[in-house]
Amino acid sequence: MGAFIIRRVFYAIIMLFVVSFVSFVIISLPAGDFLDQKIAELEARGDRSASQRVDDYRERYGLDQPLLTQYWLWISNFVQGDFGLSFEYDRPVRELIGQRLTLSILLSLTTLTFTWAIAIPLGVYSAVNQYSLGDQIITTIAFIGIGIPGFLLALIVLYVAIVILNQDVVGLFSQQFKDAPWSLAKVWDLMKHLWVPALIGAVTGTAGTIRIMRGNLLDTFGQAFIESARARGLKQRTVVWRHAVRMAITPLIIILGTEAFPGILAGNILVEVVLGLPTIGPLYIQALTTQDMYMAGTVLVLIVFLLLVGNLVTDLVLAWIDPRVRLE
Amino acid sequence: MSEEIQNSNVKQKNDKNKVSQSYWSLVWWKFRKNKLAVVGAIILAFYYITCVFFAEFFAPYPKDLESDYLEARPTYFQFRDSEGNWFLRPFVYALDEQIDMATRTRTYVYNTTVKYPIYFFVKGEPYKLLGFIPAETHFFGTDPETPDAKVFLMGTDRLGRDQFSRLLYGGRISLFIGLFSVIVFLFIGVSLGAASGYYGGATDIIVMRITEFLSAFPQEPLFLALGAAVPVTWPSPRVFFMVTILLALIQWGGLARQVRGLVLSGREEQYVLAAQSFGASDRRIIFKHLIPATMSHVIVIATLKIPGMILLETALSFLGLGLVPPTVSWGTLLQNANTVRAIRFAPWYLFVIPFILFSIMAYNMLGDGLRDAMDPYSK
């Protein structure tokens, strides 16, 4: 087991380096230096000290050096927690991401809760009453749900809210709470906004989860221990929830590691953009549009990092559960 | 001797006609029985006819024709006028401009006293059908004798261009991108997967490492970053080409792995061993035996991949990182709707959503039906 863990961790670290380098190259691909633009802009305004500051940045991040040097400067600071500077905001990337991280985590947790609260009972119902009318309806809805992308759904929700209900659903706070310090009223205001993107995320995520849950549970029902539980005269509810669901839910744990974990940063970028949420997704898109390279690069590398860590943890958990995996 | 063989062949053939069918005809039989899949195929045929092949004919106006009506509301077909009379021939009301002094916005209201009847197969702006046949007939439109008459089924945009026409032209680009990128995706995925499975060794290791590397990236953020890296100064055909390639490049990994698996097991089949012992070249074995054996699987994957490709393009262009105007695609049309103001005052920009959703659902229905049909021996 020890050798297995070391091998996997080593592998993940190597992968992280390669991926971060490629991310850096992709992000710095766009022709034209963002700083050149900035300097021209500042000089047009006659701001000489700012131009001096930009030159300082250029030196500090080695922007006139070859790409490899730039990458090395950036990544060696990165591992120490200095993600570089957002040229757009003129502030450290770390600070900007930190500001939005709480809300991003909150949103992804709420979405996950909604998804599972909807999907697991529906999946169980579908499997227990296979081929019943309810199962057919759930399966059909799940089939349609897989096809509907979140950001189109978000646009439809916006339309219904704005044009038909005349409600404000954009953002996560009402106008008066936007810059207010935290208070009970602000939390309540957040709750009133948060459920919309969470539900949109849940609706698009539910479909797949229902399918997985239904399939797994149907497989589990065929196994001997379920039969023995029934033979012992246990109630149907106990057999289903205590014995079958407990087994069938394991693959969802894998999803937790490989999808929900990296989803903290990039769960539903497009939905967040459409609804104008103060989370990390829109920050990433803005950074890509304005070629704010350290900002975009940091978000991309952090997402990859979470994905790799999620995969690693999942692998380890699986290896712990199933010895065949680690002996392979 | 040879006659005998021929005879027995004929006999076998006759037997076949009685009891068995070729694989593809079995697939066709099974596919036809799946109503959902057939509906999907019909919807798609409809899309390809109206958007991809004959958009010029079905669109009442050229995609860049600017009218005097800016951000005008849709003029729907009417069959019943304000006095309650029914008409067999649909008509549209004229639009009157109104300036709201308080908010300084321009709105349009229906002028129910002026009716423009709709004619089918009317003469309109000249165009080239399929790119080379000169024609002037449009599927529907208003009387060409009255130049004031306009029909905007789905409203107009900020420059007064007819949205319905633009949606048809936009569908051409979006559906094309879906199809082209899947073809590139198939080409890369199948060839690398087959090579990896057949040759093994170093080829296999390299290809599999690349696919692992690709799967270490989250797909959507990676695609957005790559899209942003495409220079904005590029001419639109080049951007179109680039987006198509990128879509395929980030996704081929999964397909390559599946094809590799199929080829690995196919390599051990007796007919392949027989071909090898006859001295067939690697190329012949790969292209005549191994790849055709993976085709049913690959076709299903490809069909189910197209809607994802269309959506990714739409998302990218919607964010302003992919195709940009003047290119008309569903994504660039959706860009119009990305402000709260647009949704409040010009909700007809959202008509692009049903266009996208129906095409995606149709592809999913078709793909799901194909998946079942490709395995015609199961009940």
Q: How many CB atoms within 10 Å of residue B108?
A: 20
Tell me the mean pLDDT in the region B291-303.
86
Which is more confidently placed, A172 or B283?
B283
Share of chain A above pLDDT 90, in %: 0
For B307, the closest chain A residue by CA position comes to: A147
Rounded to the nearest 10°, the torsion over CA B327, B328, B330, B331 is 30
Which residues from chain A sit within 8 angstroms of residue B227, using beta carbons?
Answer: 288
Q: Check whether A311 has a pLDDT greater than 50.
A: yes
What is d(CA B21, CA B39) in angstroms, rounded to the nearest whole number? 25
Q: Which pLDDT belongs to residue A160?
A: 87
Asked whether the beta carbons of residue B343 and residue A299 sit closer than 8 angstroms, the reply is: no
Asked whether the beta carbons of residue B344 and residue A162 sit closer than 8 angstroms, the reply is: yes
Q: Cβ distance A104 to A280 under 8 Å? A: yes
Tell me the mean pLDDT in the region B18-45.
83
Q: Which pLDDT belongs to residue B187?
A: 92
pLDDT tens digits, A256-269: 777 777 777 777 88
- At a CB cut-off of 8 Å and minimum separation 6, what does A147 contact? B307, B357, B360, B361, B364
How far is C-alpha B149 from the chain's CA centre? 33
**Of the listed ranges A23-37, B54-68, B251-265, the one predicted with least confidence:** A23-37
Q: Check whether B17 has a pLDDT greater than 60.
A: no
What is d(CA B223, CA A20) in angstroms, rounded to the nearest whole number? 15
Q: Check whether B293 has a pLDDT greater than 50.
A: yes
Residue A250: burial class (beta carbons within 10 Å; 0-12, 13-18, 19+): middle
Domains identified in chain A and CATH numbers: 2-92 (no CATH), 98-321 (1.10.3720.10)
- Residue A318's pLDDT band (boundaries 50, 70, 90)? confident
pLDDT tens digits, B356-369: 999 998 998 888 88
**Of the listed ranges A182-191, A271-280, B162-171, B298-307, the one predicted with least confidence:** A182-191
Amino acid at A323: P
Rounded to the nearest 10°, the torsion over CA A6, A7, A8, A10 is 80
pLDDT tens digits, A176-203: 666 667 777 777 777 777 888 888 888 8
Q: Check whether A168 has a pLDDT greater than 80.
A: no
Which residues from chain A sit within 8 angstroms of residue B344, using beta carbons?
Answer: 162-163
Asked whether the beta carbons of residue A156 and residue B353 sit closer than 8 angstroms, the reply is: yes
Q: Cβ distance B57 to B129 under 8 Å? A: yes
For A263, the closest chain B residue by CA position comes to: B218
Tell me the mean pLDDT in the region B195-220.
86
Asked whether the beta carbons of residue B218 and residue A152 sit closer than 8 angstroms, the reply is: no
Q: Which pLDDT belongs to residue B46?
A: 93
pLDDT tens digits, A215-265: 888 888 888 888 888 888 888 888 888 888 877 777 777 777 777 777 777
Q: Is A207 on the interface with B (CB under 8 A)?
A: no
Q: Which pLDDT belongs to residue B175?
A: 92
Q: Cβ distance B94 to B111 under 8 Å? A: yes
Q: How many CB atoms within 10 Å of residue A328?
A: 7
- For residue A297, give the nearest of A107, A77, A99, A150 by alpha carbon: A77
- Residue A84's pLDDT band (boundaries 50, 70, 90)? confident
ipTM over cut 0.90: no
Q: Is A269 on the interface with B (CB under 8 A)?
A: yes
Q: Which pLDDT belongs to residue B1?
A: 42
- At a CB cut-off of 8 Å and minimum separation 6, what does B219 contact? B250, B251
Q: Cβ distance B178 to B311 under 8 Å? A: no
Q: Check whether B183 has a pLDDT greater than 90.
A: yes
To the nearest whole Å, the CA of B225 is away from the closest chain A CA by 6
- Residue B44's pLDDT band (boundaries 50, 70, 90)? very high
What is d(CA B327, CA B235) in angstroms, rounded to the nearest whole number? 10
Q: Which pLDDT belongs to residue A57?
A: 67
Q: Which pLDDT belongs to residue B181?
A: 92
Total beta-carbon pairs less than 8 A apart between chain A and chain B: 101
What is d(CA A164, CA A177) in angstroms, rounded to the nearest whole number? 25
For B335, the closest chain A residue by CA position comes to: A274
What is d(CA A298, CA A82) in angstroms, rounded to the nearest whole number? 10
- Residue B48's pLDDT band (boundaries 50, 70, 90)? very high
pLDDT tens digits, B54-95: 888 888 888 888 888 888 888 888 888 777 778 888 888 888
Q: Is A289 on the interface with B (CB under 8 A)?
A: yes
Q: Name residue, tokens 């992804």.
A: A108
Q: How many CB atoms within 10 Å of residue A216?
A: 20
Q: Check whether B43 has a pLDDT greater than 90.
A: yes
Q: Is A165 on the interface with B (CB under 8 A)?
A: no
Q: How many CB atoms within 10 Å of residue A296?
A: 30
Tell me the mean pLDDT in the region A150-167.
84
State chain A's mean pLDDT as an integer. Answer: 80
Q: Check whether B7 has a pLDDT greater than 60.
A: no
Q: Which pLDDT belongs to residue A37?
A: 66
Question: Count of alpha carbons within 13 Å of B332, Cβ hemisphere only?
Answer: 20
Q: Which pLDDT belongs to residue B182?
A: 93
Which residues from chain A sit within 8 angstroms of residue B306, using beta carbons?
Answer: none
- Residue A33's pLDDT band (boundaries 50, 70, 90)? low
Asked whether the beta carbons of residue B225 and residue A296 sit closer than 8 angstroms, the reply is: yes
**Of the listed ranges A141-145, B130-134, B213-217, the one predicted with least confidence:** A141-145
Q: Is A149 on the interface with B (CB under 8 A)?
A: yes
